[in-house]
Each structure stands twice: as C-alpha cells, then as structure tokens.
Amino acid sequence: MTATKRMTAAKRHRPVRRRSDWKVALIFLVPLIVMYAIYFVYSTGFLARTSFTKVSITFFNAVDVGWENYRLLLGDPVFLRSILNNLVFAGISIVAALTIGFFIAVALSTGVRAKRVFYVLFLLPVLMPLSLLATLFNSMLQQRYGVLNTTLEALGLGALAQPWLTDPGLAFGVVSVIFCFLIGLPILYYTADLAALPTESLEAALLDGAGPFRIMRSVIYPMMTSTHLTVILSLLLGSFRALEVVLFSTQGGPGDTTEIVGSYLYGWSTSAGPTVGFVAAASIVVLIIALVISLVQMVITRPRKGRK
C-alpha cells in the first residue's frame, strides 16, 4: 500500500466527531456532576462560609467573625505542630514503604515458600480497623501493665522497660512505628506492578551478570516510578485521615507531641460551645494543604511533550 492510500484509509477510519456527541456525553456526565455539586461543591462552600462565623453545632445565632478563626488557628502552635507531625509521620511511612515495603514485595514475588502466609501477615494490619490496631499498641506499651515491659522484666531485661507512651521522644517513635506498620497497602501496589513488569530487561540484566540486589536497585526500582508516586501520594494524603492511629494510641500526647491534624480537629469538633466555625476554618486549611499536595503530584506525573 502506498503512503497516499494509507493516509486515505486512515482518514476513512478516523471517527467523525459530531455535534450531538457532547450532548450524549453530557447525559452520562450529569449524574456525576450533580453528585459532585451536592457532595463536594456545596459542602466545601458551606464549610468555607461557616469558617467565618462563631457558631456551635446547632448553627443557631451564628456571629460573623471575619478572619478571626483563621487568625486563631494560624497563631495556635498546637495546630501548626499537628500539621508538621502529620507530614513527618507521612514522611517516615513513605520512607518505610519505598524501602522495606518495596523489598518485601520484590522478595515475595520471587516465589519464596509460603508467600501467601507472608502476604496475609503483612496485609493483616491494613485489614484490621486502625482503631483496634492502635488500641492494641496502647495496651501493649503501657509502662506498668503493658505486655512489652512485663515481658522484658520477666526475661530479666527490666532495664530496657521504658515509659513508651509518656516520654515525648518514645511516644513519637511509637506513632511512627504504627504508621510504618501499615505498609501492607504499598506492598500490594508494588506486587500488582511487579506482575506487569516487562521481563526482557530483567533477562538482559541477568545475562549481563547482575546480582539480585543490583537488579532490584538498578533495574526494578527505577522502572516503578509511577508506583512510587502512587505510594507517596496515598500515604501522604492518607496521613491526614489517620485520626484513629493517634487517638487510640497516645491521644496526641504527651502534651501535643504526637498531635496530628485529625486528632486536633476531632478534639475541637466534639467539644461543647461555639467551636464549629473554628473547626471549619481548620478543615479549610487542611483541605488547601491536601489540594496543594495533589497539584504537585499532578505536575510531577503529567506526561511531558516529547517524552515517550
């Protein structure tokens, strides 16, 4: 077939865009648009409007206070600390997922024995309610009655028994560990992508004499950039919803050492008095932070011109 004929054939098979297409598309999109308008646009607008008022959960007698709630919020060291903690806990869990999680996923995909048992072991913490997991940690780590310290003492290692939940540094470590405990989901992401990995590159690396760790580090890891980004984004945004982790393990304490945005908002939203406007302002700030994170992710992962 000549080039001219091929072009003609291509033109013939190119779908013709009709004017009525957008109407059809609209019919399919309308339910989604309506749902979106109700659940997201309206609720966000309501939240934004409420954030400029001083009002209780009854929404009676709302007083317009302008930017006062935002002034209070941004001048509150506990709120600022909770945002910082959120990002730090997310950062720690991301590092754990990109290293330990990735390693476990690759190791399990190599056909180790009883790999299903291992999958269950690593996924179990994710499948369990977070509140239960955090409560278990709280119970195990109590200084006097916790299983960890009593076991250490029974083994003659009483010197290692620590005030895990009341020492600021240790409590921070405990919450970090619980966040890292949830690497089951990243392992799932990696496992799914590993199955779709082109084998030619691995075979080539093997033929070139690369060892397993070299293949993992120099071949597989770089090939999974999109999975890494998915893991990073999901853990980062997920950390803003990790209320139970903190609430049931340390309650944000000691002091405000382990406070995160979720526990901060929960504390204010469940108190009596005109705090709903303040909570709404905090929610708007958190929403903006989450949006910025999403935008950064979109910019990083967008397909660039010229890139194949």
d(CA 193, CA 99): 16
Q: Tell me how far, at minimum, the Cβ of 137 lies from another protein, in Å.
A: 12
Q: Please, are residues 205 and 215 in contact by the beta-carbon 8 Å criterion?
A: yes
Q: Please, are residues 10 and 2 in contact by the beta-carbon 8 Å criterion?
A: no
Q: Tell me how far, at minimum, the Cβ of 58 lies from another protein, in Å.
A: 5
Identify which of 35, 190, 171, 181 has the alpha carbon closest to the alpha carbon of residue 104: 190
Please, which residue, 226 or 271, has the CB nearer to another protein? 271
Please, which residue, 130 or 279, has the CB nearer to another protein? 279
Q: Tell me how far, at minimum, the Cβ of 289 lies from another protein, in Å.
A: 20
Please, which residue, 28 or 145, has the CB nearer to another protein? 145
Q: Tell me how far, at minimum, the Cβ of 225 lies from another protein, in Å.
A: 43
Q: Tell me how far, at minimum, the Cβ of 52 lies from another protein, in Å.
A: 15
Query: How does 39-51 read in b/e, with b if 16+ C-beta sit within 10 Å?
Result: eeeeeeeebeebb
Q: Please, are residues 220 and 106 in contact by the beta-carbon 8 Å criterion?
A: yes
d(CA 283, CA 278): 9
Q: Please, are residues 81 and 256 in contact by the beta-carbon 8 Å criterion?
A: yes
Please, which residue, 234 or 251, has the CB nearer to another protein? 251
Q: Tell me how far, at minimum, the Cβ of 68 lies from another protein, in Å.
A: 8
What residues have CB less than 8 Å from 133, skipping those under 6 apart? Answer: 125, 178, 181, 245
Please, which residue, 28 or 60, has the CB nearer to another protein? 60
Please, which residue, 131 or 251, has the CB nearer to another protein? 251
Q: Which residues bind another protein (CB under 8 A)?
A: 56-60, 68, 72, 75-76, 138, 141-145, 163-168, 251-256, 267-275, 278
Q: Tell me how far, at minimum, the Cβ of 148 lies from another protein, in Å.
A: 12
Q: Tell me how far, at minimum, the Cβ of 46 lies from another protein, in Å.
A: 14
Please, which residue, 103 or 266, has the CB nearer to another protein? 266
Q: HSE, CB side, 13 Å, CA atoms: give it for residue 77.
A: 3
Please, which residue, 158 or 222, has the CB nearer to another protein? 158
Q: Tell me how far, at minimum, the Cβ of 179 lies from another protein, in Å.
A: 20
One-letter identity of residue 229: L
Please, which residue, 59 or 213, has the CB nearer to another protein? 59
Note the Cα 135 to chain centre separation in Å. 20
